[in-house]
Amino acid sequence: MKITPIAIVGAQLTAAAATYYTAPANTKSIIKKLTFTNTTGIARTVTVYLVPYAGTAGATNTLISARAIAPGETYDCTEAMGQELATGGFLQALSDLTASLTINGAVAEVVG
């Protein structure tokens, strides 16, 4: 079994669900850390989806929904820690306002 740590590279969320990580072929990915930082002066919300291969973001795969993040706050998304994505599964997120929240994190990719 091979385990490789991979960063979820920092990016600013959009107001529509966008993909920030996809589990590669023949790999199970375990989310180790996921944070969101509000870079604005007013509270913003984040919604996170763990979507299976060939799926779409929706109510059945919502991890957190419209969670408020205070101005300047970095929110550790403990709900995501330990969650697994099978091959082709992906992490999507959105904010209530484009370019107001930044995502960062890490996964462990497990092969074998």
What CATH number corresponds to the domain at position 66? 2.60.120.1110
Torsion sign across C-alpha atoms 14, 50, 60, 102: negative
Q: Whose structure tokens read 């992490």?
A: 91
Query: In this structure, are residues 92 and 57 in contact, taking their beta carbons and an 8 Å threshold?
Result: yes
Q: Is the pLDDT of residue 4 over 90?
A: yes
Give residue 85's domain range: 2-111
Give the model's pLDDT for residue 112: 85
**Percent of the chain scored above 90 by pLDDT?**
99
**What is the number of domains present in the chain?**
1
53-94 pLDDT, tens digit per residue, is 999 999 999 999 999 999 999 999 999 999 999 999 999 999
- The answer to whether 24 and 70 are in contact (CB under 8 A) is no
